[in-house]
């Protein structure tokens, strides 16, 4: 055998091993299919010696949309360990031989992620949007030595995670808490089926949920950019840079609806003003602030509380909306000190990790936001180098999830992500906030 042929054969074997682990199918793992016992409650999957996450991939094309991904981290892999994906709660079935999974994957490594190919049914969204609950899909980690389920988690919403943790976290301040957020929150496009994105759509939309649903899934900080258009019926718009997206009133209406149905605290991070604020800047800002006061003045917390006030003291006021405003051209009693964005402007995961390694090793004065997403350069957009923001998020979010499960989750303040359904940032926030408040991080919120 020639050296070249040996090299090709080795490459083929390595690729085959990789595919078995990362793109496993039910047929590839058919001998990992018996569960002798399912007696553990459905949990948020973020505690103990096994971490199991089930989330929705941001990937979208003519063939796929809303496809489930499973990611895991385990201290020690046992021979025969496997993970199954189900469209029913295994705890509620009488059978112990759960072979009718939607997807299964053998666990050969201590950490991994798999794109299941299973597309969720969007009509499975909960009929009670303000109650946490499973959305029709469960993942089970099965130990190979016993055949018993070690952990069960589900795809779920988190509309009341603050309230449900209130006894533990109420003495934390906004500056001390881990607050999950969305990057470029108003730049969303809801897609319910496979869809071809043109070049503009690929690099405009950072989210796939509307503002209300981002909050229902657990985001508590919204990153917003405002445009002023004096020649339209609606003067104030949400923008992605110079692209006009939707009237800002729609954003505020979604926020108000969520606040009116929960006891959560929400932060509007009004951070950039890309259009219409250059000419007569101070006057335009004053007009916009007056508009904010008209729309949400009865809900906004006075800035005198400050970022160091405890969550309990803020809730006691009866108001639960914070407006952080990144401009010195306006002042009002309800405008809070702006949030410092730690944005790396990185195009690959390794560079993003190095950037945040430096950030977390230094001093970060709260309030600050770790902008944990990849950013294309202008030429990358023109050449479609990375396939769009969804593809970039699919690459980075898997790693962001791991970073936040580790030590970075201990010391971050706000974390803003693209396509929040494709992350476990909310679960990490729940766990680390408990730990920061001096409580065990591994008391799970059970799900049904």
Q: 145 with 202, same domain? A: no
Q: How many domains are there within the chain?
A: 2
- What is the C-alpha separation between 336 and 264, in angstroms, rounded? 18
- What is the C-alpha separation between 263 and 69, in angstroms, rounded? 31
**Strand-pair partners of 222:** 182, 268
SS3 letters for 319-331?
A: CCEEEEECCCCCC
pLDDT in the model for residue 97? 62
Q: 119 with 238, same domain? A: no
Cβ neighbour number for residue 310 with a 10 Å cutoff? 17
Q: 98 with 221, same domain? A: no
Asked if residue 445 is part of any domain, the answer here is no
- What is the C-alpha separation between 246 and 186, in angstroms, rounded? 8
- Tell me the CATH number at 63: 2.60.40
Q: What is the H or E stretch that residue 157 is in?
A: none
Q: Which domain holds residue 276?
A: 165-437
Both tokens assigned to 402: 């791991």
Long-range contacts of 61-66 (CB under 8 A, 24+ apart): 61/194, 61/195, 61/196, 61/197, 62/194, 62/195, 62/196, 63/194, 64/117, 64/119, 64/194, 65/119, 65/191, 65/192, 65/193, 65/194, 65/195, 66/119, 66/120, 66/122, 66/191, 66/192
Q: 326 with 411, same domain? A: yes
Cα-based angle 25, 29, 34 (whole degrees, multiple of 5) = 125
- Tell me the CATH number at 259: 3.20.20.190
pLDDT in the model for residue 18? 37
Reduced to 3 states, what is the DSSP secondary structure of residue 144? coil
Inter-residue contact 419 to 189 (CB < 8 Å): no
**What is the β-pairing status of strands 266-275 and 340-343?**
unpaired
Asked if residue 88 is part of any domain, the answer here is yes
Cα-based angle 70, 109, 398 (whole degrees, multiple of 5) = 40
Q: What is the pTM of this model?
A: 0.87
Alpha-carbon distance values, 195 to 65, 82, 243, 381 (Å) = 8, 32, 21, 19
Q: 109 with 229, same domain? A: no
Q: 170 with 149, same domain? A: no
Asked if residue 442 is part of any domain, the answer here is no
The tens-digit pLDDT sequence of the chain (448 residues) is 554 444 444 444 343 333 333 333 333 334 444 554 444 455 555 556 889 999 999 999 888 899 999 999 999 999 999 999 999 888 776 555 667 889 999 999 999 999 999 999 865 455 678 988 889 999 999 988 888 888 999 999 999 999 999 999 999 999 999 999 999 999 999 988 888 899 999 999 999 999 999 999 999 999 999 999 999 999 999 999 999 999 999 999 999 999 999 999 999 999 999 999 988 899 999 999 999 999 999 999 999 999 999 999 999 999 999 999 999 998 899 999 999 999 999 999 999 999 999 999 988 888 999 999 999 999 999 999 999 999 999 999 999 999 998 889 999 999 999 999 999 999 999 999 999 998 876 655 455 5
Inter-residue contact 130 to 159 (CB < 8 Å): yes
Asked if residue 31 is part of any domain, the answer here is no
Asked if residue 356 is part of any domain, the answer here is yes
pLDDT in the model for residue 10? 41
Asked if residue 217 is part of any domain, the answer here is yes
The upper half-sphere exposure of residue 257, i.e. CA atoms within 13 Å in the direction of its Cβ, equals 15
Asked if residue 433 is part of any domain, the answer here is yes
Report the sign of the C-alpha dihedral through residues 32, 37, 38, 40, in that order: negative
- What is the C-alpha separation between 368 and 351, in angstroms, rounded? 20
Asked if residue 29 is part of any domain, the answer here is no
Q: 99 with 175, same domain? A: no
């Amino acid at each position: 055998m020639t050296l070249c042929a040996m090299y090709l054969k080795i490459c083929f074997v390595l690729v085959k091993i990789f595919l078995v682990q990362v793109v496993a199918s039910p047929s590839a793992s058919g001998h990992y299919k018996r569960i002798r016992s399912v007696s553990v409650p459905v949990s948020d999957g973020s505690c103990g010696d096994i971490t199991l996450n089930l989330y929705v991939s941001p990937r979208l094309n003519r063939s796929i949309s809303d496809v489930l991904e499973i990611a895991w981290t385990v201290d020690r892999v046992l021979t025969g360990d496997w993970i199954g994906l189900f469209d029913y709660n295994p705890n509620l079935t009488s059978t112990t031989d759960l072979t009718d999974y939607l997807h299964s994957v053998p666990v050969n490594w201590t950490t991994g992620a798999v794109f299941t190919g299973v597309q969720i049914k969007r009509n499975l969204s909960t009929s009670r949007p303000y109650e946490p609950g499973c959305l029709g899909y469960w993942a089970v980690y099965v130990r190979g030595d016993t055949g018993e389920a070690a952990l069960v988690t589900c795809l779920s919403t988190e509309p009341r995670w603050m309230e449900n943790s209130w006894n533990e976290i109420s003495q934390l301040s906004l500056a001390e808490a881990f607050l999950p957020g969305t990057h470029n929150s108003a730049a969303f496009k809801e897609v319910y089926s496979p869809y071809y994105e043109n070049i503009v759509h690929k690099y405009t939309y950072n989210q796939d949920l509307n503002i209300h649903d981002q909050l229902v899934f657990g985001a508590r900080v919204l990153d917003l950019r405002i445009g002023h258009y004096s020649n339209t019926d609606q003067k104030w718009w949400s923008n992605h840079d110079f692209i006009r997206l939707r009237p800002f009133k729609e954003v505020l209406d979604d926020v108000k609806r969520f606040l009116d149905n929960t006891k959560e605290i929400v932060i509007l991070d009004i951070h950039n003003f890309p259009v219409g604020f250059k000419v007569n800047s101070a006057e335009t800002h004053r007009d916009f602030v007056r508009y904010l006061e008209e729309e949400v003045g009865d809900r906004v917390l006075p800035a005198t509380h400050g970022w160091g006030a405890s969550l309990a003291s803020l809730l006691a006021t009866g108001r639960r909306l914070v407006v952080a405003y990144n401009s010195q051209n306006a002042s009002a009693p309800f405008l809070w000190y702006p949030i410092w964005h730690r944005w790396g402007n990185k195009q690959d995961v390794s560079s993003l990790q190095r950037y945040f390694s430096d950030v977390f090793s230094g001093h970060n004065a709260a309030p600050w936001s770790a902008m944990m997403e990849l950013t294309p350069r202008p030429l990358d957009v023109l050449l479609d180098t990375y396939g769009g923001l969804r593809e970039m998020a699919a690459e980075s979010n898997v790693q962001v999830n791991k970073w936040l499960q580790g030590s970075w989750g201990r010391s971050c303040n706000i974390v803003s992500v693209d396509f929040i359904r494709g992350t476990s940032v909310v679960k990490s926030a729940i766990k680390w906030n408990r730990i920061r408040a001096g409580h065990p991080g591994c008391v799970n919120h059970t799900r049904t």
